[in-house]
Amino acid sequence: MTAALPTRTDVLVVGAGPAGLTLTTALALAGVDHVALEPKEAVAPGAKAAGVQPRTLEYLDRLGVGATLVGRGLPGAGFALREGDEELLRVSYASLDSPHPHLLLVGQDVTEQVLADRLGAVGGRLFRGYRLLSWQRTHPGVLATVAGPDGLVRTVQARFLVGADGLHSPVREGAGIAFRGDSPATLFALADVHLDLAGPPDTDTAFFLAPDGIALVSPMPDGMHRVVTSVPPGTPPPSAADVEHALATRTGGALRTARVRDVAASTTYRFQQRVASRLVDGPVALLGDAAHTHSPAGGQGMNTGIQDAADLAWRLAEIVRHGAPESLLAGYDDERRPVAEELIAFTGQLTALTTLTDPRLGTLRNTVLAAVRDVPAVTDFLAGRLSQLDIGYGADDRTGRRLPPSRFATPVDAPVWVLADPGATAVHGDRPRVVPAPELTASALVRPDGIIDAVGLTADAARERLA
Ligand SMILES: Cc1cc2nc3c(=O)[nH]c(=O)nc-3n(C[C@H](O)[C@H](O)[C@H](O)COP(=O)(O)OP(=O)(O)OC[C@H]3O[C@@H](n4cnc5c(N)ncnc54)[C@H](O)[C@@H]3O)c2cc1C
C-alpha cells in the first residue's frame, strides 16, 4: 500500500535529483520530519554527470553509500590537457589526502539510484509521482499545493520549503529570486559510446585541444567512453561516424584510430552560467541546479549540489531537532553562494581556455601550460580545487576547513558532529561523537558536513556548544 501524502511536515523537499536525494537522506538519518516530492516515477537514465569527486565521496561515506557507489564505478586517475599526442598538463588525484584519491567515473543515474536505495532503507519519505504546483507563505512556513499521480490536488503545510527542483526551479520562481547570468553560445555534442581501441583505455579524463575545437574523452564503466566535443550551433546529436571523425581529427594515441562499436546515448547541449541572488529567503532554501548552473567542464555541477545538501542538512537538523534559531540558515547562503559564484568563474575560465579558436592565443596558452606543467604548486592547486577538497569557508585558517578523514583513527560513518580528540583512546558519546585523532595537536569539533567548527574544545565544552 502506498503511504498517503502527509498534510504537514517540517521540511518539504521539492525534487529528487542528486541534490534532493542527498539532502533527504541526510534529513532522514538525522531524524528530521520531512517529505520529498518528485514527479518522475523512477530514476531516469540519461547522459548527465559522469564524475563523482573525492569530496562528494567523503560525504557519501557518511551517508553510508560511498563504498556501494565506488563498487559501481571506475576509479579515474584525474584530468589531462592534451594536444594530439602531447600532454600539456596533468592533474593527478593520486596524492590527495582522501580515502578516495580518484575521480569516480560513474553515470548520474547510478549515483541517483544508489542514493534512492539508501533513502528507502533509512525510512526516507520520498513521494514519486507528486509535483509541486505552487506555494505561498503562511505563518509560520509555507503552504504548498501538490498534484498527485491520481490527478488529485493536495496541500502540504511545511515549516521549511527546499527547492532541489533543478534549473527551472518552481520554488525559486515562486520566491521571486533572480537567477542572473548568461548562456554562452558554445554548443557541445555528447556521446556515450563503446569503442574498439588499439591499446588499453586511458585512466585520465582527457581534454584534447585541437584547431577545430575541443574533445573531452573519459573512460566510463562497462567498457564505455564519454566523448564531448564543441560543435557549431545547429549541429544535430552525434552519430557513430561523427564521433569517429572527432576522435580522428582532435585526439591522439590509440583514440585517433578508434572505431565506435555502438552509441548508447547521444545529445547536444548548451549550458548556462547563473547563480540565484539568494539561496535562503525566510523559510525557503535552494540547492543544486536550482541555485546555480554552469559549464560541465571539470565535472563540478552535481558535486556542488551534493555539497550544498551536506551544508543545508545539518543546519535544518539543528533548527528542527535541536532548537537552534532559524538564523542558522543564513550561514548556508553565506557559505555556499560564494562557492557557486567562484565555480562559475572557474568553470567559465576552464571552458574559455579549452575552446580558444584564435591560433595565436592557442599557441600562447600552450606555452603557458608548458611553463607550469611541472610546477607542483599549480597542479596541486588544480587537484585540490577540482576534487573540491580545498573548498572551505571564512578567513580563519583553523576553522571553516575540511578535516581530512585520515585524521580520525576510526572512520566516521554517519552525518554526525564529531570531536576529533588527540587525547581520546576510544570512540564514545553521540553528540558529539568523540573519536581518537592522535595526529592532531588540538581537538577539532567537526560538523556533519566534515567542516571544522571549533578547535581546542574539551568533550564537555563541545557538548555544551551543541546543547
Ligand atoms: C550533458 C550534461 C553533462 C553534465 N556533466 C556533469 C559532470 O560531469 N559532473 C557534474 O558534477 N555535473 C554534470 N552535469 C550537471 C548535473 O547533471 C546537474 O548539476 C545535476 O543533475 C543537478 O542536480 P539537482 O539535483 O540539483 O537537479 P536535477 O538533477 O535537475 O533534479 C531536479 C529534480 O527536480 C524535479 N522537479 C522539477 N520540478 C518539480 C516540481 N514542480 N515538483 C517536484 N519536483 C520537481 C525534477 O523532476 C528533477 O528530478 C551535467 C549536466 C548535463 C546536462
Kindly state whether residue 114 falls inside one of the protein's structural domains: yes
- Interatomic CA distance for residues 422 and 437, integer angstroms: 5
Contacts of 365 (CB under 8 A, 6+ apart): 209, 353, 356
Contacts of 345 (CB under 8 A, 6+ apart): none
Specify the number of domains making up the chain. Answer: 3
Q: Are residues 210 and 115 in the same domain?
A: no
Q: Are residues 168 and 201 in the same domain?
A: no
Q: Are residues 309 and 445 in the same domain?
A: no
Measured from the CA of 290, which atom of ligand 1 is nearest? 26
Q: Are residues 198 and 253 in the same domain?
A: yes
Mutation pick for ligand 1 pocket among 56, 173, 289 (CB with most ligand atoms within 8 Å):
289
Mutation pick for ligand 1 pocket among 273, 302, 351 (CB with most ligand atoms within 8 Å):
302
User: Ligand 1, atom 5: nearest CA belongs to which residue?
Assistant: 49
Kindly state whether residue 73 falls inside one of the protein's structural domains: no
Cα 406 to Cα 98, 295, 370, 410, 411: the distances in Å are 7, 32, 34, 9, 8
Say how many Å lie between the first and final Cα of the chain, rounded.
40
User: Ligand 1, atom 53: nearest CA belongs to which residue?
Assistant: 48
Q: Are residues 235 and 295 in the same domain?
A: no
Q: Are residues 213 and 131 in the same domain?
A: no
Mutation pick for ligand 1 pocket among 108, 119, 134, 347 (CB with most ligand atoms within 8 Å):
108
Q: Are residues 250 and 212 in the same domain?
A: yes
Kindly report each contact of residues 131-135 with a partner whose C-beta sits within 8 Å and lies 24 or more positions away, as own/partner. Answer: 131/37, 131/39, 132/14, 132/37, 132/165, 132/170, 132/171, 134/170, 134/174, 135/161, 135/171, 135/174
Mutation pick for ligand 1 pocket among 5, 23, 48 (CB with most ligand atoms within 8 Å):
48
Amino acid at position 337, single letter: R
Distance from Cα 429 to the centre of ligand 1, integer Å: 38
pTM of this prediction exceeds 0.85 = yes
Please answer whether residues 17 and 39 qualify as being in contact, where contact means their C-beta atoms are separated by less than 8 angstroms.
Answer: no
Give the largest CA-CA distance in the chain. 66
Q: Which of 254, 269, 284 is the last residue of a domain?
A: 269
Q: Are residues 196 and 248 in the same domain?
A: yes
Measured from the CA of 303, which atom of ligand 1 is nearest? 11
User: Ligand 1, atom 20: nearest CA belongs to which residue?
Assistant: 302
Distance from Cα 231 to the centre of ligand 1, integer Å: 23
Cell 533513502 maps to which residue?
A: 119
Residues comprising the chain, all counted: 467
**Protein residues with CB under 6 Å of any ligand 1 atom:** 14-20, 37-40, 47-51, 108, 131-132, 164-166, 170, 190, 269, 288-289, 296, 299-303, 305
Q: Are residues 296 and 337 in the same domain?
A: yes
Kindly state whether residue 216 falls inside one of the protein's structural domains: yes
Q: Are residues 39 and 151 in the same domain?
A: yes
Please answer whether residues 49 and 301 qualify as being in contact, where contact means their C-beta atoms are separated by less than 8 angstroms.
Answer: yes
Measured from the CA of 190, which atom of ligand 1 is nearest? 1
Written as tens digits, the pLDDT of the chain (467 aa) is 468 999 999 999 999 999 999 999 999 999 999 999 999 999 998 889 999 999 999 999 999 999 999 999 999 999 999 999 999 999 999 999 999 999 999 999 999 999 999 999 999 999 999 999 999 999 889 999 999 999 999 999 999 999 999 999 999 999 999 999 998 888 999 999 999 998 888 899 999 999 888 999 999 999 999 999 999 999 999 999 999 999 999 999 999 999 999 999 999 999 899 999 999 999 999 999 999 998 887 789 999 999 999 999 999 999 999 999 999 999 999 999 999 999 998 887 877 777 777 778 878 888 888 788 888 889 999 999 999 999 999 878 899 999 999 999 999 999 999 999 999 999 999 999 999 999 999 999 999 999 999 999 999 999 999 99
Q: Indicate left, alpha or beta for 130 from its phi (over 0: left) and psi (-120 to 50: alpha).
A: beta
Q: Are residues 429 and 330 in the same domain?
A: no
DSSP H or E segment with residue 351 = helix 330-354
Domain of residue 254: give its range.
187-269
Cα 271 to Cα 60, 118, 295: the distances in Å are 27, 31, 6
> Per-residue DSSP letters for 13-76?
EE--SHHHHHHHHHHHHTT--EEEEESSSSPPP-S---EE-HHHHHHHHHHT-HHHHHHHSEEE
Q: Residue 311 is part of a domain; what is its CATH number?
A: 3.50.50.60
Q: Are residues 434 and 461 in the same domain?
A: yes
Measured from the CA of 293, which atom of ligand 1 is nearest? 19
Q: Which three cell numbers stand for residue 4?
A: 498517503
- Interatomic CA distance for residues 417 and 411, integer angstroms: 13
Q: Which of 225, 240, 269 is the last residue of a domain?
A: 269
